[in-house]
Amino acid sequence: MTPQDYVQQKAAASGSSFYYAFLFLPPTQRAAITAFYAFCREIDDVVDDMVDPSVASSKLAWWQAEVTQSFAGRPSHPVLQALMPLAAEFQIEQHHLQSVIEGCQMDLTQTRYLDYPGLQRYCHLVAGVVGEVAAQIFGQTVPQTTLYAHKLGQALQLTNIIRDVGEDAGRGRIYLPVNELQQFDVKAHEILKRSYSERFTALMQFQARRAQGLYDEALALLPAVDRRAQKPGLMMASIYRALLTEIEHDNFQVLHQRISLTPLRKLWLAWKVQALGRM
């Protein structure tokens, strides 16, 4: 199996909405974003599949060394063998990859966030930086597009957090800020025990309004000159906003299930942005 085959399989097997946004890209850009996304999946899987935190920590340390070695011209893992030949063309730098690893390292040591600014730091590392790299691959031409990409990455990550409250609770993690749980009088043990209440619904409505506001802010930041090039990001915004709306319509029944869109609906939403230029 070639490195290119490996990253393609890794991206497709994830079942992520991101995959649908890649389908419409020219070959070189599609190869770059697929390899970068496969890298992100590899790092994320270390944490999601964790049984022993010390083993997961060792694996992330290995990835840190592998990234350093790869930028020195000696990649050994197929993901970085696929990515490195394209890194310079799309201005992908070592600190981008190391930031993604740093964000996932936080998952090994931190299961709560005291406030939203603390959560924002985590979102910046695991999603904002990813958005920045993606925007570069998609073909941004002006610096302001980076601001849009970071804001959109944050919106996407908050949508993930809302969708995965129950799943994360099963791993002992609560990403919803502690002071906001207190504001709505929701106890951590209620979330860990998957217990619904009107207080929980109100808390989640608050989170959803914040996420929706971030989508609006991101779209307002996207310069008109880069709107066409950034269509894949707009596809992601369309798919994830539809998911967030679905969760809202389902009254935030996220503690016992993972709400998702069908592959056909994701493809339709992506195609609509590609063909019509609108969400």
Per-residue buried b or exposed e for 224-246, using 16+ beta carbons within 10 Å of the residue's own CB: eebeebbbbbbbbbbbbbbbbee
Q: Are 155 and 241 in the same domain?
A: yes
User: For residue 112, what pLDDT is reported?
Assistant: 93
Residue 276 neighbours by CB distance under 10 Å: 8
User: For residue 18, what pLDDT is reported?
Assistant: 74
* DSSP letter (8 states) at residue 176: S
Query: How much is the pTM?
Result: 0.92
User: For residue 275, what pLDDT is reported?
Assistant: 82
CATH number assigned to the domain comprising residue 17: 1.10.600.10
Helix axes 27-48, 3-13, angle to 10 degrees: 60
User: For residue 277, what pLDDT is reported?
Assistant: 63
Residue type, 200: F
Q: Give every CB contact of residue 240 below 8 A, 6+ residues apart in sequence.
A: 17, 155, 156, 159
Boundary (domain end) residue, out of 75, 108, 141? 108
Boundary (domain end) residue, out of 65, 81, 108? 108
By percentage, how much of the chain surpasses pLDDT 90?
Answer: 81
Low-confidence residues in the chain, pLDDT < 70? 14-15, 277-279
Supply the range of the domain harboring residue 167: 110-278
Between CA 174 and CA 192 the distance in angstroms is 8
User: For residue 279, what pLDDT is reported?
Assistant: 60
Q: Are 86 and 144 in the same domain?
A: no
Asked if 129 and 39 touch (Cβ cutoff 8 Å), the reply is no
User: For residue 267, what pLDDT is reported?
Assistant: 85
Asked if 151 and 217 touch (Cβ cutoff 8 Å), the reply is yes
**Residue 161 to residues 16, 174, 261: CA-CA distances in angstroms?**
15, 9, 16
